[in-house]
Chain A
Amino acid sequence: MAFEHGETVRRIAAGLKGRPGPLIEVLHAIQAQLGHVPPAAVPLVAAELNLSRAEVHGVVSFYHFFRTTPPGNHTVSVCRAESCQAMGSEALAAYARRRLGVDFHQTTPDGRFSLEPVYCLGNCACSPAVMIDGTLHGRVTLERLDTLLSDVDRKR
């Protein structure tokens, strides 16, 4: 089966390959466009940048930010770092797992939510912190998380 995004991936890689050390920028651009870095993109990127597939795969798998499966409609990142733990983030994470019915690094079967851990969002004076679709929230209580999740879910 042909890779439907092959042309997109090739175009992105070709557009950035003249820049110094371009691989991570290429992967960022692919993920921004497709929501993830499909495994089928790896050989195409490798060919375009004159790297081995192992080098490209190695970078994709090294960095937590890159994902190889499509994300849900909404991505919920709960901070697990010390400052947020001091303000109850473990309970918040447990609540998020229960509420969404998935563990960290998983997407709900209906594809609505992906739940991710994050290790510091730099909002440590307003712990605990949660990021939903790139929007940062501080001093998040269980009730507030519940409201935030319902609100974004309504938007779809």
Chain B
Amino acid sequence: MTFIVYVPRDAGALSLGAEEVAHSIGREAKARGLELQLIRNGSRGAYWLEPLVEVATARGRMAYGPVNPGDVPGLFDAGFPSGGAHPLSLGLADEIPWLANQQRLTFARVGVVDPASVADYVVHGGYQGLRRALAMSPEAVVETVITSGLRGRGGAAFPTGIKWKTVLEQPAGQKYVTCNADEGDSGTFSDRMLMEGDPLSLIEGMTIAGLAVGAAQGFIYLRAEYPHAHRALNQAIAAAYQARYLGADVMGSGKRFDLEVRLGAGAYICGEETSMLESLEGRRGEVRVRPPLPAIKGLFGRPTIVNNVITLATVPAILQHGAAQYAGYGMGKSRGTLPIQLAGNIKRGGLVERAFGLTLRELLYGYGGGSASGRPLRAVQVGGPLGAYIPASQFDTLVDYEALGAIGGLLGHGGIVAFDDTVDMARMARYAMEFCAIESCGKCTPCRIGSTRGMEVIDRIIEGQERESNVRKLEELCELMVQGSLCGLGGMAPFPVQSALRHFREDFSQRS
């Protein structure tokens, strides 16, 4: 009898030895004359348990982790092919409390399905959203997305349906759907996990977007740092073409939608949408002045949807289950769920998808289990390298767009990086300026020159030169960059610096 084993091919799981584990399982099964079907799924996102191995049993999928290659013979001795007990047993994967206490809508299939299989995708509810969309008018599809309350998950949080409506209202002709998969914020990996673990949901979401606004061509702009996601996407796109979910006749509707992946080349700024469009056109990723909006004049001067991976991958579920179901999650103007990423110095890091409304404390200590080092947490940075540092005294803040905004922070793409009490906030402030200097596209002066000057001023503060006046200079410089920069890079790079000055002044003024 064949037994079915799941070993993730997610980059994070591979980085902890999943490939060697898969090989060991293959070898061991062969040596014992067992017939093995090995499925390479994505990660469920509980990275402290990776490599997490699952085996299909009559009761469901039994999980074991974290599994080292050396553990494999022992697992077989313990009867793991039929779900036998072992010190690494975690019980049923679906019942691991850290996972069971989540609300997975966007990530429902990630870590569950075979990412390369259209058939498996369909078995797990895939392409029902597209089927529904094909039976609706484009206006009705756009209206559904508006009603769901879905906002751009890349960080800007603009209402997705409104953006689509603008593109739909442009005269017919060449239009584009582009996916911003340039996930460059430190502390974020939800796009990567989704593209590796359930790429077809992104493909389906883009297809729905194309049909809704009258675009027949889609591009996924993927960062070059994600080779595993690149392979997974290309494999899934080929499978979708093969099964006629992409191409000249999408699901027999007579409508066309083509999709391809374009690789970035290591530029953080290309996560900014107009810069991404420049890069897609093969140029330097310099930001464009808006207006015109990309929805009116975007890629190659044509009306273009630019949405983040998570935004687009959430669309199929909204079409499948209806706008009301999605809008039923969340609070205030933050509707639906958010895939939050726990990163940095955290004991149980990974992906937590929950409706808006959790506090930082619940995430950091409830899910995260506190610091990895065992020392007290001192600060978190939420929303990537342009997000504010938040001190422990504000850990009761809700993680939603408005609440974080109210304390001068930003939610961004939902990444939370934890730091213990050994962190030197003046050095982190310096790094924020350094990062801006490295990644500045150079088009506007406040960002290009300001970031380098900021680095120099912080160096002087760290060295103890005229601290008072240099701190004042730094504050003025930050204000100038915020007010005068052309885009969010220079305009927001001062946020971590300003927050470090506000909440961790002692790291600047009382250095030994």
A binds B: yes
Report A's interface with B, CB cutoff 8 A. 20-25, 27-28, 55, 58-59, 62-66, 81-87, 118-127, 129, 131, 134-139
How far is the CB of B485 from the nearest CB of chain A, in Å? 18
B300–A21 touching, CB < 8 Å:
yes
List the B side residues contacting A63 at CB < 8 Å.
264-267, 285
Q: Which of A25, A84, A119 has the most CB of B within 10 A?
A: A119
Residue of A with least CB distance to B348? A125
Interchain CB contact (< 8 A) of A62 among B228, B267, B346 = B267
B188–A122 touching, CB < 8 Å:
yes
**A-B CB proximity, top 8 nearest:** A125-B349, A81-B186, A124-B343, A138-B15, A63-B265, A65-B266, A23-B282, A86-B344
List the A side residues contacting B92 at CB < 8 Å.
none
B300–A20 touching, CB < 8 Å:
yes
B11–A136 touching, CB < 8 Å:
yes
A86–B417 touching, CB < 8 Å:
yes
List the B side residues contacting A82 at CB < 8 Å.
186-187, 344, 381, 385, 417, 428, 431
A136–B228 touching, CB < 8 Å:
yes
List the B side residues contacting A58 at CB < 8 Å.
283-284
Report B's interface with A, CB cutoff 8 A. 11-12, 14-16, 45, 47-48, 50, 183-189, 191-192, 224-228, 262-268, 279-285, 300, 341-346, 349-351, 372, 381, 385, 415, 417-420, 423, 428, 431, 435, 438-439, 441
How far is the CB of A106 from the nearest CB of chain B, in Å? 16
Residue of A with least CB distance to B48? A125
List the B side residues contacting A24 at CB < 8 Å.
262-265, 279, 282
List the B side residues contacting A126 at CB < 8 Å.
12, 15-16, 47, 50, 349
Interchain CB contact (< 8 A) of B188 among A124, A127, A135 = A124
Q: Which of A24, A59, A118 has the most CB of B within 10 A?
A: A24
Residue of A with least CB distance to B267? A63
B284–A62 touching, CB < 8 Å:
yes
How far is the CB of B494 from the nearest CB of chain A, in Å? 16
How far is the CB of A98 from the nearest CB of chain B, in Å? 20
List the B side residues contacting A119 at CB < 8 Å.
184, 186, 268, 435, 438-439
A86 to B50, CA, bound (A): 20
Q: Which of B11, B47, B342, B428 has the most CB of A within 10 A?
A: B11
Given A123-B189, A124-B417, A136-B47 contact (CB < 8 Å): no
For the complex with contacts A125-B47, A125-B189, 18 further pairs of A-B residues with Cβ separation under 8 Å are A21-B300, A24-B263, A62-B285, A62-B441, A63-B265, A63-B266, A64-B265, A64-B267, A82-B187, A85-B431, A87-B344, A87-B345, A118-B225, A122-B183, A122-B192, A124-B344, A125-B343, A136-B14
Given A122-B192, A123-B15, A125-B189, A21-B282 contact (CB < 8 Å): yes
How far is the CB of B17 from the nearest CB of chain A, in Å? 9
Interchain CB contact (< 8 A) of B189 among A62, A84, A122, A139 = A122
List the B side residues contacting A125 at CB < 8 Å.
12, 45, 47-48, 189, 341-343, 346, 349-351
List the A side residues contacting B438 at CB < 8 Å.
119
Residue of A with least CB distance to B190? A122
List the A side residues contacting B372 at CB < 8 Å.
87
List the B side residues contacting A124 at CB < 8 Å.
186-189, 341, 343-344, 349, 415, 417
25 contacts between A and B (CB under 8 A): A24-B262, A24-B265, A27-B265, A55-B283, A59-B282, A59-B283, A65-B266, A65-B267, A83-B187, A83-B344, A83-B417, A86-B420, A118-B225, A118-B266, A119-B268, A119-B438, A120-B183, A122-B12, A122-B189, A122-B192, A124-B186, A124-B415, A125-B48, A125-B346, A126-B15
Interchain CB contact (< 8 A) of A123 among B12, B264, B415 = B12
How far is the CB of B120 from the nearest CB of chain A, in Å? 24
Residue of B with least CB distance to A84? B186
A126 to B415, CA, bound (A): 14
How far is the CB of A95 from the nearest CB of chain B, in Å? 18
Residue of A with least CB distance to B16? A138
Given A21-B282, A122-B11, A125-B341, A66-B226 contact (CB < 8 Å): no
A26 to B441, CA, bound (A): 21
A65 to B11, CA, bound (A): 20
List the B side residues contacting A120 at CB < 8 Å.
183-186, 188, 225
List the A side residues contacting B189 at CB < 8 Å.
122-125
Residue of B with least CB distance to A137? B15
A152 to B78, CA, bound (A): 35
A55 to B286, CA, bound (A): 13
List the A side residues contacting B47 at CB < 8 Å.
125-126
How far is the CB of B435 from the nearest CB of chain A, in Å? 7
B11–A123 touching, CB < 8 Å:
yes
A123 to B227, CA, bound (A): 13
List the A side residues contacting B428 at CB < 8 Å.
82, 85
List the B side residues contacting A139 at CB < 8 Å.
15-16
Q: Which of B344, B381, B428 has the most CB of A within 10 A?
A: B344
How far is the CB of B19 from the nearest CB of chain A, in Å? 9
A87 to B267, CA, bound (A): 24
A28 to B227, CA, bound (A): 13
How far is the CB of B370 from the nearest CB of chain A, in Å? 13
A86 to B45, CA, bound (A): 20
How far is the CB of B52 from the nearest CB of chain A, in Å? 13
List the B side residues contacting A138 at CB < 8 Å.
12, 15-16
